[in-house]
Homo-oligomer: A and B are copies of this chain.
């Protein structure tokens, strides 16, 4: 499908005063040239020292903003993810202070990935296994109504750094508009990620992304929602899962317990260093809430796909 424009303009953080890169009518499609989450600070030849020297002011640039004609607060912007053109390389890092187990993994770590951008065949993870790929947009959203500059790190009602694994090809995403023109931007493309993004990074990978925009006037929408065109885990589930649980009255603690147990299991079963297991869990394992009603203890489960090792 031809796209009128490829958007190269990037910005850091969200601000509804940023000048639009392009103005389009509803129904139009665009291509975006998306940098990796380090904004080019990490490269396919980077070393672990470069993780410690990351400039966080330049983290997670997003391509945009796109002004959609006629969009007003109270409208809903429908974004269809048409296609991804991945770059073939990526990185996964443990960045001290980030991640679900930041207290346990305080040292920086870096894994560099090469993958086949044409076939998207599962990517080799050292000598441990192969990770199935499914490109998606980690950060996708609109400018918030609140004036000023807002960090790109947390997602918000208008979307942003959602890091939802299934906002992938064919998905229709619905975002609540808070400002005139909606001011859409996208970034932080991932070649693969598990639900939770537990170490804080995915397979961070630059890509080009083609999107189509439609406008739904004055519709109720509390938070982003989306519709997937089909199954969401078939790239992962063929061989079943090893699953660990965490049980208790606090979902966060239960999630940490489930993940810690999975890391322990992987280190025991495969002789893998714990930090390598942590990064691997982030790119292919899923956090699910198995039950949230059996007072006072909830169950959070971590699902690790066995296909990685088979």
Q: Assess whether B291 is in contact with A163, with CB atoms less than 8 Å apart.
A: yes
Looking at the complex, which one of B223, B251, B290 makes contact with A261 (CB distance below 8 Å)?
Answer: B223
The answer to whether A197 has its CB under 8 Å from any CB of chain B is: yes
Q: Assess whether A242 is in contact with B229, with CB atoms less than 8 Å apart.
A: no
The answer to whether A294 has its CB under 8 Å from any CB of chain B is: yes
Taking A222-B261, A247-B156 as contacts, is the C-beta distance between A196 and B289 under 8 angstroms? yes
Taking A288-B287, A288-B289 as contacts, is the C-beta distance between A257 and B155 under 8 angstroms? no
Looking at the complex, which one of B155, B239, B251, B295 makes contact with A247 (CB distance below 8 Å)?
Answer: B155
Which of A64-72, A116-124, A296-304 is the contact stretch?
A: A296-304
Q: Give the nearest-CB partner of A243 in chain B.
A: B226
Binary B-proximity of A150-183 (CB < 8 A = 1, otherwise 0): 0001111100011111100000000000000000
* In the complex, chain B residues whose CB is within 8 Å of the CB of A164: 243, 245, 290-291, 299, 301
Q: Assess whether B195 is in contact with A289, with CB atoms less than 8 Å apart.
A: yes
Q: Which A residues between 204 and 249 are near B, CB-CB below 8 angstroms?
A: 220-234, 237-247
Q: Assess whether B196 is in contact with A290, with CB atoms less than 8 Å apart.
A: yes
A285 and B138 CA atoms in complex are apart in Å by 23
Q: Assess whether A198 is in contact with B292, with CB atoms less than 8 Å apart.
A: yes
A100 and B298 CA atoms in complex are apart in Å by 11
Q: Assess whether B233 is in contact with A237, with CB atoms less than 8 Å apart.
A: yes
The answer to whether A98 has its CB under 8 Å from any CB of chain B is: yes
The answer to whether A293 has its CB under 8 Å from any CB of chain B is: yes
Q: Which A residues between 85 and 118 are near B, CB-CB below 8 angstroms?
A: 98-100
Q: Assess whether B196 is in contact with A162, with CB atoms less than 8 Å apart.
A: no
Q: Assess whether A293 is in contact with B228, with CB atoms less than 8 Å apart.
A: no
The answer to whether A286 has its CB under 8 Å from any CB of chain B is: yes
Tell me the smallest distance from the CB of A190 to a CB of chain B, in Å. 11
Tell me the smallest distance from the CB of A204 to a CB of chain B, in Å. 13
Q: Give the nearest-CB partner of A228 in chain B.
A: B240
